[in-house]
Amino acid sequence: MGTTIPKIGMRIVKTAVAVMLSYAIFALLNLTYRTEYGGVWGQLGPLYACIACIVCTQSTLGQTARQGVSRLIGVAVGGALGVLVLFLGPLLERPLVCIPVLGAVCVAGVWFCLLIRRPAACGMACIVPCVILITGVTGADRYYYAAARIIETGVGVLLALLVNAILPDRRADDTAEKRGASNMRVELSNTTKKLCVIGDPVLHSKSPLIQNTMIAALGLDYIYLCQTVPRGRAKEWLECARLTGYAGFNATMPHKLELVPLMDELDEDAALFGAVNTICIRDGRAIGCNTDGQGFLRALDEEGIAVAGRRIALLGAGGAAKAVALKLSAAGAAEIIVCNRTADKAEALCALDPRGKLRAAGFDIETLARVAGTCDLLVNCTSLGMSGTAGQFEDFSFLEALAPEVPVCDLIYSPPETELLCRAKALGHKTMNGLGLLIHQAVLSLEHFTGEAIDPAEMAPLVRRVLGASDL
């Protein structure tokens, strides 16, 4: 068997050019860590700029920009943490002090980057304070050191962007970002791990398209399939998945409830909602998770819609409504009014909330108008308006009772704009459909399956593009 010689592609060339330019700029300015200059100038050199070029230069300009922003954020967070702990002064010379401080800054850096949803920034947020502490920079130089690292990184990021703009990757048009479902290719090996979605019906699911798009973009050795499993056969499927080496699977109707007692472990949300939609198989153990609630919170956050302190009108009391309502309550909503045609079902949902923030109400037009008139956010969790269903709101006049600043959200993503959202938009309301929820659910599921932190901001444009190319 012959050995395949790897080609030197455009990305490699661009990386080399960016690194050379970085070094050349600092060398020409005689900024090579000349401490005699003093201040920030004395701390400047090409190293971090070259590293930024190596890490940030990607195949496309957009990918490079996303990497660059994450790196700048990581350096800024790490620099701030490093400077902060240096106020401990001579105490840092003691190993018994320095060791726990190093651990603390790493925890703080990772936590903050995850808080602002920049997982790609975590590395630099830890590296920079460690370098500051271990190299022993003291006095006023500590501030100059941190500032110099940010400047160097900024120069490297800008050069990576410039080189990428001047030398574009001609293969970009053939990437997963540009391809639709019809010509997506999935490469398999004997080590490829299997994932899938089960349900009945399930062949309409967009999960394989979404997940395989993200898998390809992230370079993960996984494949995501689709499997019809009839009602009542979830236990048999679970044993089959264990036996055949599946890393996990997603579950849609009618299996979300049936799978719960079959799990070896439930995450907090799955236990709270009494339903699972993401099952990870690790060492033969089935771990059930639910991404519905967290996915919706992420979608709201992406649209700049805060939850804390809001009075929310929630339409529907089914499975999706349960996850959304209980998660909104946990996220700090002041009150959630559950409007449903069947009063018993709404009251049963409200009884599940340990915080006591849920209130049941009817679905008649007078009640909807009264609730809408006092709410700060309206969320439709019913199937009314969904493609392929005949159901629709009989009367939309309740929307006129909403205050102008109240956002209107619909969990439906097909069609992209339901009649409810269309009417709300015409009245001047900010609107959001269910596509963001779908994307964030998928990202969270893939994080559970792989154990990898995934930046939703990087995945969302890819998924939206490939869904736009499919028959959504």
Catalytic residue among 206, 256, 327, 357: 256
What are the structure tokens assigned to 169, written together?
A: 């990757």
Distances (CA, A) of 44 to 37, 49, 147, 254, 309: 10, 10, 9, 61, 47
- Other beta carbons within 10 Å of 426: 10
| Number of Cα atoms under 13 Å in the Cβ half of residue 107 | 6
What are the structure tokens assigned to 347, written together?
A: 């009251």
CB-neighbour burial class of residue 347 (10 A; exposed 0-12, middle 13-18, buried 19+): middle
Q: What DSSP line would sit under 361-426, residue for residue?
A: E--SHHHHHHHHTT-SEEEE-S-TT-TT-----S--GGGGGS-TT--EEES--SSSS-HHHHHHHH
User: What is the pairing mode between strands 358-361 and 408-410?
Assistant: unpaired
Residue of 348, 337, 287 lying closest to 313 (CA atoms) = 337
- Among this protein's residues, is 256 annotated catalytic? yes
Q: What is the dihedral of CA 409, 437, 107, 276, to 10 degrees?
A: 120
Cα distance between residue 239 and residue 88, in whole Å? 56
How far does CA 85 lie from the centroid of its chain? 30
Residue of 358, 379, 207 lying closest to 291 (CA atoms) = 207
| E strands in 193-245 | 193-199, 222-228
Q: Is 313 left (phi over 0), alpha (psi -120 to 50) or beta?
A: beta
CB-neighbour burial class of residue 376 (10 A; exposed 0-12, middle 13-18, buried 19+): buried
In contact, 210 and 463? CB cutoff 8 Å: yes
CB-neighbour burial class of residue 203 (10 A; exposed 0-12, middle 13-18, buried 19+): exposed
Distances (CA, A) of 170 to 129, 160, 247: 38, 17, 35
Residue of 280, 281, 277, 258 lying closest to 269 (CA atoms) = 277
Cα distance between residue 332 and residue 310, in whole Å? 8
Query: Which positions are catalytic?
Result: 256
